Amino acid sequence: MIHDNRRELAMSAIVLVGGSFLGAWAWERVTPVLTASGHDVHPLTLTGFGDRAHLGSEATTLATHALDITAAIEVAGLRDVVLVAHSYGGAPATIAAAAIPGRIARLVYVAAVLPQAGRTLFDIAPPGVEEAIMSTVVDGRIPVMSDAIIDANFGEHGLTPQDRAWFRDRAVGQPVNTYRDPAPAELGAVEGLSRTFIACTGDPGEPAFLPGHEPVTLDAGHWPMITKPVELAHLIDKAARG
């Protein structure tokens, strides 16, 4: 029997969680770079996205996505995990890390939303966002954003026409109850974890770095796994090693 020693040789177990509308496919340009650096890489597809789109429903909540992440880590037997979360993914990833802190070595947030205990993502959004989003919901999902919405709200996002086509071919509407489900009342377990926050300079406004997070900036728009995958991979690699 040939012993598979890839995990022993890997620098870190890296779990990748995308933002709204995205599945594991969104990391296709990042994963080979991290793998070439010796890491054991696990891009995830949460319930309702990618090849799991058919499983999404009104019952799909923020808690569902947090359980997706904890289950993926536990079933794979992963420890000392570098959990990377982009945009919306920061919310379920934080909840997951709080549930299994003993398996997490570091959280790496990429232009991420951070949940607040006991509050929904709509609760912590700017005024008017919930009403605007709810007016677009179809069959319990927030539709994939149009070019006009992306251009109006995401600053210097850097998406080329080819990037937009690639994004739109695979993106799936966000189950709306992921935004309406309050985070658990207790998230304190993440306070003891190493945390890196990668802010994308193309996003509107100044980076809002939080206490307890190592601040890093990346010269990229809101979807760096699409527009600057090599640069993003290098920052993840550095965080994983450090």
Q: Does a structural domain hold residue 1?
A: no
**Residue in 98, 64, 120, 129 with CA at minimum distance from that of residue 193:** 98
Take residue 225 and report the two structure tokens written for it: 């796994």
Where residue 26 falls (left for φ over 0; alpha for ψ -120 to 50; beta otherwise) is: alpha
Question: How many domains, the chain?
Answer: 1
CATH of the domain at 87: 3.40.50.1820
In order along its 242 residues, the chain shows pLDDT tens digits of 333 444 444 589 999 999 999 999 999 999 999 999 999 999 999 999 999 999 999 999 999 999 999 999 999 999 999 999 999 999 999 999 999 999 999 999 999 999 999 999 999 999 999 999 999 999 999 999 999 999 999 999 999 999 999 999 999 999 999 999 999 999 999 999 999 999 999 999 887 777 888 899 999 999 999 999 999 999 999 999 98
What's the predicted TM-score (pTM) here? 0.94
Tell me which residue range forms the domain holding 30. Answer: 6-241
Q: Does a structural domain hold residue 147?
A: yes
pLDDT tens, position by position, 20-47: 999 999 999 999 999 999 999 999 999 9
